[in-house]
A and B are shown apart, each in its own frame.
Chain A
């Protein structure tokens, strides 16, 4: 079933929409959730919550790309759940490492007067992504959007792990430079 038909099912309030979504995008959503939560049950719960949010948002929403629409919901839900589980010290995945890596992107400026809003920061991130060569951008997104492990990215892009690490290191450095050039703080 194509995405338009699945979205139509949501609009018709047909519960088949959920099973069709699960058949087509269940594994994709589970992949995103598991990379963040590192736990099968928590990830399944998160994916089920994704279907619920999709059900509540369509209608009135009509996503242009259903897959990324669902992926975004899963990612946000999983990050919220990760925050909750971390507070209860119930997560031992690779997220702390990802946070450590992202710390390197933070500008060293002491400029608390110029803290930017989310919309401006999104615009800067889009500009930063547009400036990267396609391969470097995909590697960056795999690591920090899909939260994939270095090993997995290396296998998917047929590169060795050290090359992936170096690509990420350079991208983080470029992001840091851009943020500093804009003279902003986070």
Chain B
């Protein structure tokens, strides 16, 4: 009953949001236009692919490093962010309790919620924040992150753990501001840890150092047993 109320009240929301999301209603003219758009897109794709072949070499020369207190080095490779496929049968569990956070992350300032497999009710991961850093932990074989790193060449090693790291800098927005995203993924036992720290390009030193510190702390904490998390 209440979900029907939400649906009905949505009719009254600000018109700018309704207008903003307007669908493009397909007509015959659209279809003809789409055909030509498709043909044009094919030519553009070929052009991009040809250009890309020459760009790949440049990407591999772009890297950024952080030296940890232990002397180990994390190398962030300039990369692409790709949209990846996400598992569909996932439902959100509940926010983690202080006790659960303490058990999993010790004293790290984490806020997070859990994900469950909606078919079998098994825990499949969690998503949250450590200060400004996004964290997604997923059981191996489950895809919870909608981004993936491509373009990396070599993994760094921290305390014996293989760590993939990369960064991406967006084009300038209308105010001339570029966004930098530093991210990393690594495996701890059967869990995949994905971390992401984003901010303005001017703050890249802070972004990568914060991220490197969290990578180190998580690896020191070690393996996470997500099975301690309770379902709703």
Query: A residues touching B (Cβ–Cβ < 8 Å)?
Result: 27-28, 31, 64-65, 67-68, 71-72, 75-76, 79, 98-100, 102-106, 108, 118, 121-122, 125-126, 129, 134, 137-142, 144-146, 148, 152, 156, 159-163, 165-167, 169, 172-173, 186
- The reply to whether B9 and A126 contact each other, CB–CB distance below 8 Å, is no
Binds A, one of B85-93, B157-165, B167-175, B213-221: B85-93
Q: Contacts A162-B86, A166-B86 hold; do A137 and B20 have CB atoms under 8 A apart?
A: yes
- The reply to whether A146 and B7 contact each other, CB–CB distance below 8 Å, is no
Inter-chain contact total with CB atoms closer than 8 Å: 119
- The reply to whether A99 and B90 contact each other, CB–CB distance below 8 Å, is no
CB-defined contacts of B12 to chain A, threshold 8 Å: 118, 122, 125
Contact of A146 among B21, B27, B86, B91 (CB under 8 A): B21
Chain A interface, >50% SS class: helix
Q: Mark B1-42, 1 if CB is under 8 A from A, else 0.
A: 011111111111111011111111101000000000000000
Query: B residues touching A (Cβ–Cβ < 8 Å)?
Result: 2-15, 17-25, 27, 83, 85-88, 90-92, 113, 143, 146, 232
- The reply to whether A68 and B15 contact each other, CB–CB distance below 8 Å, is yes
- The reply to whether A126 and B23 contact each other, CB–CB distance below 8 Å, is no
Looking at the assembled complex, report how far the CB atom of A106 sits from the nearest CB atom of chain B, in whole angstroms.
5
- The reply to whether A160 and B83 contact each other, CB–CB distance below 8 Å, is yes
CB-defined contacts of B11 to chain A, threshold 8 Å: 72, 75-76, 79, 145
CB-defined contacts of B3 to chain A, threshold 8 Å: 99-100, 102-103, 105-106
CB-defined contacts of B8 to chain A, threshold 8 Å: 76, 79
B95 and chain A: residue at smallest CB distance? A177
